[in-house]
Amino acid sequence: MKKRVFWLVILLLFGYLVFQKIADRERPYGATKVDYQTIEIEIARDQIYQGDLLLVNKENPVHEAGVKNDVVRLSQNEELVKGYRLLDPTIAVSESVAKVFLEMVDAAQQDNVSHFILNSGYRDMEEQEQLYEEMGPEYAMPGGYSEHNVGSALDIGSTMMKMEHAPEGKWLEDNSWKYGFILRYPKDKAAITGTAYEPWHFRYVGLPHSAIMKNHNFSLEEYLNYVKEQRHLSVPVDGKTYEITYYAVEQDMTIEVPIDSSYMISGDNMGGVIVTTSHFDKEEKE
C-alpha cells in the first residue's frame, strides 16, 4: 500500500514538472514568470487586420476589417471641431481619434500654438483611388494602400505657413507622442517607410507605443519589427507599467491576461497581434 502511494506521489510530481515545462515553453520569450490571476481572451484570426498598430503600405493593404467602425463627418459633430479649422466640410475621421486630437490641440493652445487646420482624414477606397489617378504614385497611394483608408490618419496643417516651417508642425513633432500620435513619414526614414517626408501626416497608434517610438526614433515599420523580435517588452510611462507581447496568429486562439489589468489588442496587418496590458505602479496608487 505504501509503495503504491509512493509511486502515485512520484507520478503526480512528474506530471506537474511536465506541465510547468510546457507552460514555460509557451510563455512569450522574455516574459517574466509571475504569480497572478488571469483571464482567458479569445483572439480571432482576423484580429491581425484590426487595431491601432496596423502597418499599411505598398506591401500591406487595408482589409475591410481594418477600417475604423466609428468614422464620423466632423462638420456634423460641432463638439469635435474646437480650436482648429476644417479645410473641407466633408472631412471625416474616427470619432475616438478625433477626441484625442482635440486634447492635443487644446494642449498646444496652452503653449500659444493655435493655428491648426485639418486638411484630410478618412478616405474610402474609391476616393483614394481617384486621388491616386489624379496625382500619380509620387503623391498618393492607390485605393486600399493608404493609412487614410483606415480612419486614424490625419493631414494636419497650419493656417499661417507650410508645416515644415510652422510652429504647429514643430509642436506636433515634439509633443504628439504624448497623445498617442506619431509623425508617420519622417525625413530621415524615407528609405524605410518608402514614402517621402510628410510633415503634415500624423497617425494615431496610442500609448505606450508612440512613446517607445519617440524614445528610440523608430518608424512604425521599425517598431513593429522590434516588438516581433523582442516578443515581450515591459515599459514604464507616466506612472503606468505596460507589458507588450507579440503573438503570431495562424488560427483562432486564446491567450491569458492579468485579471487586474486593462488590455488592448491590435493586429500588425502582417500575421501577428500585439497585446498591451497596463497597470498603475504601486507608488502611483498610494
CB 266 within 8 A of CB 51: yes
CATH at residue 219: 3.30.200.180
- Residue 262 has which C-alpha cell? 486593462
Write down which residue in 164, 186, 204 finishes a domain.
Answer: 204
CB 237 within 8 A of CB 208: yes
Which range of residues forms the domain containing residue 168? 66-204
Q: How far apart are the first and last CA of the chain?
A: 55
The secondary structure element, H or E, covering residue 126 is helix 125-135
Give the active site residue among 198, 221, 250, 286: 198
pTM: predicted TM-score of the whole model, two decimal places: 0.84
CATH at residue 163: 3.30.1380.10
Same domain, residue pair 108 and 232: no
Same domain, residue pair 41 and 74: no
Tens of each residue's pLDDT in the chain, 286 residues: 545 544 544 544 444 443 344 344 344 433 444 446 888 989 999 999 999 999 999 999 999 999 999 999 999 999 999 999 999 999 999 999 999 999 999 999 999 999 999 999 999 989 999 988 888 887 788 888 999 999 999 999 999 999 999 999 999 999 999 999 999 999 999 999 999 999 999 999 999 999 999 999 999 999 999 999 999 999 998 888 999 999 999 999 999 888 877 899 999 999 999 999 987 765 444 4
CB 181 within 8 A of CB 203: yes
Annotated active-site residue 147? The verdict is no
Same domain, residue pair 78 and 166: yes
